[in-house]
Structure 1
Amino acid sequence: MAYSSDKHPRQTLEAINSLRKRRELCDVVLIVGDRRIYAHRVILAACSPYFHAMFTGELAESRQTEVIIRDIDERAMELLIDFAYTSQITVEESNVQTLLPAACLLQLQEIQEVCCEFLKRQLDPSNCLGIRAFADTHACRELLRVADKFTQHNFQEVMESEEFMLLPANQLIDIISSDELNVRSEEQVYNAVMSWVRYNLPERRNQLPMVLQHVRLPLLSPKFLVGTVGADLLVKSDETCRDLVDEAKNYLLLPQERPLMQGPRTRPRKPIRCGEVLFAVGGWCSGDAISSVERYDPQTHEWRMVASMSKRRCGVGVAVLDDLLYAVGGHDGSSYLNSIERYEPQSNRWTKVASMSTRRLGVAVAVLGGYLYAVGGSDGTSPLNSVERYDPRTNRWYPIAPMGTRRKHLGCSVYNDKLYAVGGRDDATELSSAECYDPRMNAWSPVVAMSSRRSGVGLAVVNGQLLAVGGFDGTTYLKTIEIYDPDANTWRMYGGMNYRRLGGGVGVVKMPQCESHLW
C-alpha cells in the first residue's frame, strides 16, 4: 500500500525550526548589521537561489561559518529567514519597503510577488508615483505596469500631490507623454506642467522647453492657447516655447493644412472609460412607495430593470461604497425604516446588512474614509441630529458625534475630507444653517449660514467648490444656487437654474474637453 503523509512536511519544518531556535546543528551564521542569525545552509540553499549559489559554488563564503551580508535591512533578513523555516510572513506598510529589496537580493520570487501585490492594494493618488518609482528601481514589472495605469487613470488627482511636484523631469515626461492620460482637456496637462515648473523655478525654468514639447498644445482651445499659454511670461521668454505656441496656432488657424501637420502633439488622448452606470432606487409611484430599481448605461443609452429591493422605500438614502450600492432607511408606505440593503452588481442581488439604531426618512448619506455615514433625517416623531457610521469590515453601525442642529431633508456632501451638512428642516422651520464634521476629531463645527433657508437642498462639489442648489425656504421653491468659500467662510450667490426645484437630485459629471458639469 502506497502512503503519502500530509503531516510530514509541516512537522519536519517545525522540527528544523526548533533546532534553529536552539542553535542546534546550525552550520552558518549570517551577520547582518549588528545581528547574528543562526541557520542551516541546506535550508537557505533550498529556499533561495542566492544562497544556493553562495554555498554550492567556489565563492569564499561556501567555506566560511560566518558570512557577512551587506546592503540588506536587518529586520527584513530576519523575516525572510523565518519564512524559509516556517512558510509564513506578514507583509505590512511598515516593512514592505525593506522586504521587497531584500527579497529581490535573495531571489525569493514568491515574497517579491506578495510585496508587489500588497503595494498594488495600497495605491492611492497621493503615493502612486512613489510606488511607481520603487517598482522601477526593483524591476517589478507587473507592479510598475499597474502603478503606471493607476497614475494615468487618476492623473487629475495625482497632479495635485506632493509626489508629483517632486518628480524629476524624465519621469514627468514619461507620464505626460502617455496617450492613455485620463484628462478632461489638455489644459489640465499644461497647468500641471506649469505648477511643476513653478514649484522649483530656479532649477526647473530651463527644463520648461523640454517638458512643454510633450504637452499637446494644438489640442487646446484657441482662447486658452492665446490668453493663457501665449501670455505666460515663462513661455514668452523662451524661443523654443514660443515656437511650440506658434505651431499650435498654425494648427488651429489652418484646418485645411492639418493632415500635413499630424504628429505626437496633435494626437488626441484616449480617456479611460470607467464603465460607470447610474441606478435609480425606490421612490414613490401611484400613491405608494416602490421597491423597483433601474440601471442606466450611458454607453448603450438604455434603462434596464435590475433586482428589486426586499423593502419598498421612498425618501431613501443611496450611496456607493467599495463598488457596492447601499439603500439606507426611508419609508415603506406605512412605517419609517432603519433597515439597510446592499446591491452587488455582478450577482444582481440585494442582501440585508446590519440595521441602523434609528429609523430615518429623508436621511442624508455620504462616504468618507471607507465608511458610510447616515446623517439626520426623521424617525416619524421629530427631525434628528444623530449620526451613524457603517463599517463594512465589521458589518456594524457606530454612533458618532451628533450635529448641533436637528435636520431632515438636508443636503450632505464630502468636501476637503470633511462631511458637510447643509440646510434641511428642524421641528419648526426650514434652515439656512450649516455645519461640518471632522472624522479625526469626531466633532461637528458650525459653518456660516447660507443666505437662504433651504429644505430639500441639493449639495455637490464641482471643480473643487461646494454648491447648494435649489430647495424650499418655507414660502417659495428656489432656483438659486449658493457657493461656499472655505477660506473666507462665506456663501455667495452663484446664479440660478431655469426652474425652481425642491428635493432635486444633483450629480457631477466629468465632461470631455471641458470642466466638470453639475446635473
Structure 2
Amino acid sequence: MATSSSQTLALQRNSSEQNRFMEKLMTKIFSFYDEQSLIDVTFKVSNPTALVPAHRLILAAASPYFENLFNSNQGTNPVIEINDIDTDIFEHLITFCYTGHAPITVNNVAAMLNAAIVLQLDDAITSSVDYLMTHMDEYTLQGAYRLQLEMKCEHLKQKIIEYETQNFMEISRSDEFLNFDVEKLQRILVSDNLNITREEDAYDAIQRWYNYDVPARQEQLPLLIACLRLIQCNVDFLMTHIQPLPGCELLAFKALSWIREPKARPMINMRFTEPRGVSASNCGEKTILALCSELEMNPKLQQYKKTEDKWQEYASIKTDYRWYETILKDDNLLFIGGWKRGATLNIVRSWNIRNKTWQNLPAMKQARISHCVVELNGKIYAIGGFEYPHVLSSVERYTTSDGWKLVKSLIVGRHAAGAVILNGKIYIIGGFNDNKLIKSVECYNPDSDTWTSCAEMTGFYHLPGVAAHKGHIYVVSRCGAERYDPQQDTWSQICSLAVGPGWMTCVSLDNKLWAIGGMSKSFDKSCVSAFDEENSCWIERCSLPESKVRNSFVVPESLLSSM
C-alpha cells in the first residue's frame, strides 16, 4: 500500500515540484551520511582495516548486490566483513551510492571498475569505463585490452570496439595490431562504422597483418577479405590485388560479376552490397516487414508501403517446420529453434532478405520452442522457452567467434513471454510458468551477467507485442496494454486495442508505436494500428491481407528495393 500511494502521489506532482522534492530529500540523505546519523550497517574492510558506516536502504536501492546481501542471513549482522576490495575503493563506491560520483583516476580506474562489477553498481561501471576511454592516451589501449580480458566487462568490450572502429587507421599502424586474433579483426572490419575513407585502406591494414606471419595466417586471409565491401573497389584493383590472394579467387569473381553484370545480381550471393554506413539498422527511410503464416510453415513477408498505406507481398519463404522464433540480424532473417514431427529443434537458419537464400548457422545447445530471441550489442540471445514437458529457464548467447554459450539463467523459467532491449539491457516480460500465467518481469545486465526482478505488470500477458519506444517499454495484447517506466520501475495501463484473438507484435517507427496483429472482425485479416499518445487512442491503418502475424521488423526501404 505504501508503494502504491507513493507512486500515486509522484504521478500527481508536476516535474518542477518533483525536482524540488527530490533535491530536498537527497540533501537530507547526504547530511545523514556525512553526520553518520541513523546508520544501520557497518562494513569492516580489511585492506587496510577500517570501518565504513552506511544505510541499508540506500545501498540496496543502488545495487542488487547489497539488496541480496541484506536479504541473506549474513546481511542481518550489524557489522559485515568485506575482504576482497581495497578500503579506499570500497569507501569511494559507498559514497557513489549516495552521490552518483566517485574520484576516478588513471591509477585507480582498474580497481574501481573491478569493485563496481563485484558490487553490481552499473552506473559506477559506466563511469569507470567512460573515464578510461576518454583517457586512453594515459592508460593505453594495450592496458584496456588487458583489463577487459581480466574483468570480462561487456560494457568495456563494446567501448573498445567503438574506439577501434573510430581510430582504425591509427591502430592498424601500431605493433599490437599485428597480434590481433582473426576473430577480433573480423569484428572490426565488418563494422559499418569503420572510420576509413576507402576500402583500400582496410585492405592495406589486412595486408600488413597478413605479412607479419604469412604461413600461419594464409588460411585466415579469405575470412578478412570477405569483410571488405569489395564492390566499392574498381575492377582493376580487384583483378590485381584481390584475385591473386590465396583463397580469395571466388570472392574476387563474385565482386567482378556484380560490377560487370547488373542483371545477374539477384543470382549472386554477396555479403555486402552497400557502402559502409548503410545497413539494415541505420540507412535511409524505414518501413515495416511483417512475417505472416497460417500454420507457420512457408511464411510470407509482407512489406508496408507507407505513402500508399497498403501492404504488398515481398517474398514467400519455404520451410518444413514450425514454432520457430525469428529475429532480424543485419540483412538476414534468423529462424531459431522450432518443432518438426513431434520433436523440438535446436537448429538455427539464416535467410538473406536481399538474395532470398538460406544458410545454416551453428545449432543452439538447447532445443526450444515458445522462447524469446533478441539482439544486444551484436549478440543473439535465446531465452527460456519450452521443450516438452519442461519449461526452460536457460539462456544462451550467440557470437560468430564463439558460437552458442550458456549465460546466467532466468530467475523464473517461462515460455510464450515477450522480450525487448532498452538502455543496453534485456527485459523479459510475462508468459507462462508451467501452465500458470505470470506477471513477473526480469532485466538482464550483460556486464554483470545477472538477472534482476522488476516491478510486476498489472495484468497477465502471453505472446504479447512488446517494443521499446521513447525510453519506455510497451506491452500490447487484445487483453490490454501497459507502459513501463524504467526510471521509476512502474507499470501503468494505456488504452487497449479492440481486436480479436491472435498473436500481436509491436514496433517503433517514425516516432510512433505500431501494433500489428490480432484478428479483424471478419477474421480473415490482421489489424494494424498506430498509437496516438497525445489523445491516448489507437488509430487504425490498412489491415494486413493475412490472418496470422508471427513477427514484424523495422527495415530500411532500400533493403527491399530489389522488388
TM-score by length of 1: 0.40
| Structure that is richer in strand per residue | 2
Greater radius of gyration (CA): 1
TM-score by length of 2: 0.37
- Of the two structures, which has the highest relative contact order with CA contacts closer than 8 Å and spacing of 6 or more? 2
